[in-house]
């Protein structure tokens, strides 16, 4: 899990153009969206859906479904672990 | 001066000419069908698309197909229809052309090409259309995302009011391509069924293609419809998501009604953008209510035409004009049950309206832009809004070029790095701005954002008092190439929403509006060069009619490693409102009065060695330009 969390942090930084942010800056349990935290928005949510599809083979058709899954890096990692095709 | 719609044409998959389209609407016929396979999408898609052979049959002009792109053919067909109905002659110097589109010939964008096909540039494709008609004036191109059509009508109206032209043909068009469908798909904004605006079941929009054209002039006959008012605003909230309050669309509606001299009780119906995405319709229900129009019948025509992008404002406004005449409001086809936070009077069936007088037509788009117009039956026209001509002076000018930023003649920032990415990051940091969103922007937006930061330093204003009217030659081509590369290499499904959103040039305006809370008029023109007469006249008229105190105007362009900014911050010293303190800068100067409108299409002259024209930009990245 720790390994996956670190990998995800790197992917988020690269894919969401989070320049000036290092993996150490990202608290795995802090909210990704809204004020504070990383301040991600709806376009970022769509990009995360793309990351899940491209890198983990996980499809999320309804963005509304993503709300809980995308809460933090940790919830994201948990969802991937539970749903990734072995 | 009153400006009327005196001829109109709609060309869509459900009809060639306005009458055929109205007949289709009368019988609830939609152009939207499910395409399990198509030339413009990797996956099944519900859309309203032309059959190529039907355009061929209808275009009448036999050699059109070989020489002109589908986009050009459709615009030519719509304008030809207008010319057939009237005595207007485009060779006449007093007749102008305004063209609206979001993506024009996006089918020709090719990241592998050594040099882009010239027709990718909207000014070039518009010039080709102008030349087809032997037009005396070069067309003016408005690319303002999904409000482009209404923007262009407002531009046409104001250019006549400003005395630039005596009449203007305004034409809007967009055609569907992988470029467009993949982008909307990446936003998860497409419905797999026919869209149901304002309905609780709505789950997205459908795309459509088509063209619309109107003739605007002060002449009046028994069939004329008055274009009584128009206004544009910006949400200053998000580049793709609509406002959560609807306040800014409400501002545009109120602005248009103010110009038309009408009250909410005068409005017979409202034709909304009504795309059927969850958030758009939610926002519109709030805006309509804020504008006190919640008791009017509300309609969306998207279930018939789909979302025809840069054409939608014009096509739907034409339908509104005929609805006023017919005394009928067309039903929002497929609507069953209410699904917006504020209740609206939406009906699936066509309705007879006894007291038909005025209507409001709205649109909203990426970049946070909103537009509204008021159309009126001429016999119910109200006295027009009286305004004083704007008195303009330049408060400050800024140029960005060659790793250097100048305010007036003073260098305020320069970088040792000749690499754009490094330069713009350094210039951003020097501003002391810590907005992390900067790093997510595309290169054109970073450029505009940083330039605006230096331009607006210490300038205070109210959100509605500031407008942005800017232009360039290549639109958003730099990012268009990125999006095209992704989908052609990896397929439509890998389209990136954070790339696609920047394939509209006016999004840079949206980014500036968000950062500096600017909610006034915002318009993006595509021009070959930095020519000033026509656009300056427009800016002057827009500031007068929209009661703007300030406006950011000028040139903003980037392609590859080449970039150029020349922006001015203008003040209307005749601004009516709470003036507060005036801004004094070392660089303040009276603005040179716009010269007489240019009467002949000539090549714009370079104004000193800082001039860069569009042709130059398009070709320098490569070796040659292929005008086909």
For the stretch B471-496, pLDDT in tens is: 999 999 999 999 999 999 999 999 99
Interacting residues of B383 by C-beta distance below 8 A, sequence separation 6+: B261
- Contact in structure between B216 and B160 (CB atoms under 8 Å): yes
Using an 8 Å Cβ cutoff, are A55 and A4 in contact? no
Residue of B239, B240, B439 with shortest CB distance to A19: B439
**Residue from B295, B291, B359 nearest B324 by CA:** B359
Q: Which residues of chain B are within 8 Å of residue A49 when distances are taken between CB atoms?
A: 188
> Could you say which DSSP state residue B133 is in?
T
DSSP B199: B
Q: How confident is the model at residue A19 (pLDDT cuts 50, 70, 90)?
A: confident
Contact A48, A62 (CB under 8 A): no
Quick check: B585 pLDDT over 60?
A: yes
* Arithmetic mean of pLDDT, A10-25: 90
User: CA–CA separation, B97 vs B156, rounded Å?
Assistant: 8
**The pairing of beta strand B404-407 with beta strand B410-414:** antiparallel
What phi and psi values does residue B171 have, to the nearest 5 degrees?
A: -125, 135
pLDDT of residue B60: 61
Spell out the domain ranges in chain A. Answer: 2-83
Mean pLDDT value across residues B395-402: 96
Percent above pLDDT 90 for chain B:
86
**Average pLDDT value for residue range B439-458:** 97
Mark out the alpha helices in B467-625 (DSSP H runs). 477-490, 497-500, 507-516, 533-545, 614-620
Q: Please answer whether residues B362 and B273 qualify as being in contact, where contact means their C-beta atoms are separated by less than 8 angstroms.
A: yes
Average pLDDT of the segment spanning B433-450: 95
In CATH, which superfamily holds the domain spanning A2-83?
ACP-like (1.10.1200.10)
User: pLDDT category, B389, cuts 50, 70, 90?
Assistant: very high
Q: What are the pLDDT digits (tens) for B17-64?
A: 999 999 999 999 999 999 999 999 999 999 999 987 666 666 665 566
DSSP 8-state assignment for residue B388: P
Q: Which of B59 and B247 is assigned the larger pLDDT?
A: B247
Positive or negative torsion for Cα B10, B16, B18, B21: negative
For strand B15-16 and strand B4-12, is the pairing parallel, antiparallel, or unpaired?
antiparallel
**Residue of B187, B188, B238, B428 to mutate, testing the A interface (most A Cβ within 10 Å of its Cβ):** B188
Minimum distance, in Å, between the CA of residue B498 and any CA atom of chain A: 6
pLDDT of B334 strictly over 80? yes
- Tokens representing A5? 């969390």
Token pair in block for residue A53: 């599809």
Q: Are B536 and B390 in contact (CB under 8 A)?
A: no
Q: Smallest Cα–Cα separation from B427: which of B414, B410, B417, B409?
A: B414
How far is the C-alpha of B543 from the C-alpha of B551, rounded, in Å? 7
* Residue that is written with structure tokens 């229809």 in the block: B81
Closest residue in A to B437 (Cα) is A18
Please tell me whether the overall predicted TM-score, pTM, comes out greater than 0.90 for this model.
Answer: yes
Per the CB < 8 Å rule, is B498 touching A39?
A: no
Region for B408 from its dihedrals, namely left if φ exceeds 0, alpha if ψ lies in -120 to 50, beta otherwise: left
Residue B571, Ramachandran bin (φ over 0: left; ψ between -120 and 50: alpha; else beta): beta
Nearest chain B CA: its distance from A66 CA (Å) = 13
pLDDT tens digit sequence for A43-61: 999 999 999 988 999 988 7
pLDDT given for residue A34 in this prediction: 79
pLDDT digits (tens, 9 = 90+) for B502-555: 999 999 999 999 999 999 999 999 999 876 789 999 999 999 999 999 999 999
Cβ separation of B440 and A39 shorter than 8 Å? no
Q: How far A78 CA lies from chain B's nearest CA (Å)?
A: 24
Considering only alpha carbons, which residue of chain A is nearest residue B184? A46
**What domains, with CATH codes, occur in chain B?**
392-620 (3.40.47)
Looking at the partner chain, which of A19, A39, A43 has a beta carbon nearest the beta carbon of B497? A43
Buried b (16+ CB within 10 A) or exposed e, B227-237: bbbbbbbbbbb
Question: Rounded to whole angstroms, how far apart are CA atoms B78 and B89?
Answer: 15
Q: Which residues of chain B make contact with A53, given a CB cutoff of 8 A? A: 493
**pLDDT on residue B533:** 87
Where on the phi/psi map is residue A34: left (φ > 0), alpha (ψ -120 to 50), or beta? left
ipTM of the modeled complex: 0.88
| pLDDT, tens only, B155-199 | 999 999 999 999 999 999 999 999 999 999 999 999 999 999 999
Specify whether the CB–CB gap between B111 and B614 falls below 8 A: no
pLDDT for B497 beyond 90: yes
Q: Helix, strand or coil for residue B267?
A: strand
Note the pLDDT of residue B620.
33
Q: With CA atoms as reference, report the closest residue to B268 among B216, B305, B217, B228.
A: B228
* CA pair distance B216, B168, nearest whole angstrom: 5
Rounded to the nearest angstrom, the minimum Cα separation between A84 and chain B is 19
| DSSP bridge partners of B307 | B207
Is residue B427 within 8 A of residue B490, CB to CB? The reply is no
Residue of chain B minimizing CA distance to A36? B436
Average pLDDT, chain B: 91
Contact between B439 and A44 using a beta-carbon 8 Å cutoff: no
The pair of three-digit structure tokens given for residue B326, joined into one six-digit string:
């017919």
> What integer is the mean pLDDT of B295-302?
98
pLDDT in tens, B137-152: 999 999 999 999 999 9
Measured distance between the N- and C-terminal CA atoms of chain A, rounded to whole angstroms: 15
Residue B582: per-residue pLDDT: 59
How far CA A44 is from CA of A79, B162, B443, in Å, comes to 18, 43, 18
Sorting pLDDT into bands at 50, 70 and 90, what band is B604? Answer: very low
pLDDT of residue A20: 83
Residue B348, pLDDT above cutoff 50? yes
Residue by residue, what is the 3-state secondary structure of B1-52? CCCEEEEEEEEECCEECHHHHHHHHHCCCCCCEEECCECCECCCEEEECCCH
pLDDT at B601: 44
Reply yes or no on whether the pLDDT at B330 is more than 50: yes
- The C-alpha atoms of residue A12 and residue A44 are separated, in whole angstroms, by 9
d(CA B79, CA B82): 5
Residues 6+ apart with CB under 8 A from A82: none
pLDDT band at residue B581 under the 50/70/90 scheme: low
Q: What is the pLDDT of residue B587?
A: 66
pLDDT digits (tens, 9 = 90+) for B258-272: 999 999 999 999 999
Q: A25-35 pLDDT, tens per residue?
A: 999 998 998 77
Q: Residues B445, B386: contact at Cβ < 8 Å?
A: no
- Please check the confidence at residue B65 and state whether its pLDDT lies above 80: no
Q: How confident is the model at residue B456 (pLDDT cuts 50, 70, 90)?
A: very high
């Amino acid at each position: 899990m720790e390994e996956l969390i670190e990998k995800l942090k790197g992917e988020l930084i690269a894919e969401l153009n989070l320049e000036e942010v290092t993996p150490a800056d990202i608290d795995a349990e802090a909210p990704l969206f809204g004020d504070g935290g990383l301040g991600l928005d709806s376009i970022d949510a769509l990009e995360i859906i793309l990351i899940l599809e491209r890198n983990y083979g996980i499809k999320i058709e309804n963005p509304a479904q993503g709300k809980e899954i995308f809460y933090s890096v940790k919830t994201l990692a948990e969802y991937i672990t539970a749903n990734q095709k072995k | 001066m009153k400006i009327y719609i005196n001829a109109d044409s709609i060309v869509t998959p459900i009809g060639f000419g306005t009458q055929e389209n109205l007949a289709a609407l009368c019988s609830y016929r939609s152009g939207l069908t499910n395409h399990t396979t198509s030339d413009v999408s990797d996956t099944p898609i519900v859309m309203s698309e032309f059959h190529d052979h039907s355009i061929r049959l209808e275009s009448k002009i036999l050699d059109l197909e070989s020489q002109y792109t589908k986009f050009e053919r459709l615009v030519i067909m719509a304008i030809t229809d207008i010319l057939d109905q009237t005595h207007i002659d485009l060779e006449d110097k007093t007749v102008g052309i305004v063209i609206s589109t979001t993506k024009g010939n996006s089918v020709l964008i090719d990241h592998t090409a050594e040099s882009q096909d010239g027709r990718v540039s909207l000014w070039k494709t518009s010039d080709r259309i102008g030349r087809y008609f032997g037009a005396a004036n070069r067309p003016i191109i408005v690319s303002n995302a999904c409000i482009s059509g209404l923007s262009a009508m407002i531009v046409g109206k104001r250019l006549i009011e400003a005395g630039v032209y005596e009449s203007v043909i305004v034409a809007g068009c967009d055609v569907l391509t992988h470029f467009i469908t993949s982008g909307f798909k990446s936003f998860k904004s497409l419905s797999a069924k026919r869209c149901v605006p304002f309905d609780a079941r709505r789950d997205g929009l459908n795309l459509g293609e088509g063209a619309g054209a109107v003739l605007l002039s002060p002449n009046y006959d028994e069939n004329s419809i008055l274009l009584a008012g128009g206004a544009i605003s910006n949400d200053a909230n998000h580049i793709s998501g609509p406002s959560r309050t609807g306040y800014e669309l409400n501002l545009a509606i109120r602005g248009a009604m103010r110009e038309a001299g009408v009250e909410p009780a005068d409005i017979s119906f409202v034709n909304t953008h009504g795309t059927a995405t969850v958030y758009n319709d939610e926002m519109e229900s709030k805006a309509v209510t804020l504008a006190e129009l919640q008791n009017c019948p509300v309609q969306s025509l998207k279930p018939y035409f789909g979302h025809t992008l840069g054409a939608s404002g014009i096509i739907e406004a034409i339908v509104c004009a005929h609805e006023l005449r017919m005394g009928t409001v067309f039903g929002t086809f497929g609507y069953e049950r209410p699904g917006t936070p504020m209740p609206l009077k939406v009906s699936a069936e066509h309705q007879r309206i006894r007291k038909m007088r005025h209507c409001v037509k709205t649109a909203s788009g990426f970049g946070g832009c909103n537009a509204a117009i008021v159309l009126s039956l001429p016999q119910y026209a109200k006295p027009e809004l009286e305004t004083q001509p704007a008195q303009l002076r330049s408060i400050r000018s800024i140029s960005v070029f060659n790793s250097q930023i100048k305010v007036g003649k003073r260098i305020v920032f320069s970088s040792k790095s000749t690499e754009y990415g490094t330069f713009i990051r350094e210039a951003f940091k020097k501003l002391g701005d810590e907005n992390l969103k900067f790093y997510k922007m595309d290169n054109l937006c970073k450029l505009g954002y940083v330039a605006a930061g230096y331009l607006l330093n210490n300038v205070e204003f109210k959100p509605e008092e500031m407008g942005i009217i800017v232009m360039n030659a290549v639109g958003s081509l730099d990012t268009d190439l990125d999006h095209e590369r992704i989908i052609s290499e990896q397929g439509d499904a890998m389209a990136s929403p954070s790339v696609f959103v920047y394939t509209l040039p006016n999004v840079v305006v949206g980014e500036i509006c968000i950062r500096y809370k600017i909610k006034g008029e915002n318009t993006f023109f595509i021009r070959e060069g930095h020519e000033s007469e026509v656009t300056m006249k427009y800016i002057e008229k827009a500031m007068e009619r929209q009661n703007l105190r300030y406006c950011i105007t000028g040139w903003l362009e980037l392609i590859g490693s080449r970039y150029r900014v020349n922006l001015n911050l203008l003040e209307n010293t005749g601004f009516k409102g709470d003036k507060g303190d005036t801004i004094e800068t070392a660089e303040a100067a009276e603005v040179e009065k716009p010269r007489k409108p240019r009467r002949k299409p000539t090549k714009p002259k370079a104004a000193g060695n800082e001039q860069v024209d569009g042709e130059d930009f398009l070709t320098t990245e490569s070796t040659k330009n292929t005008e086909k």
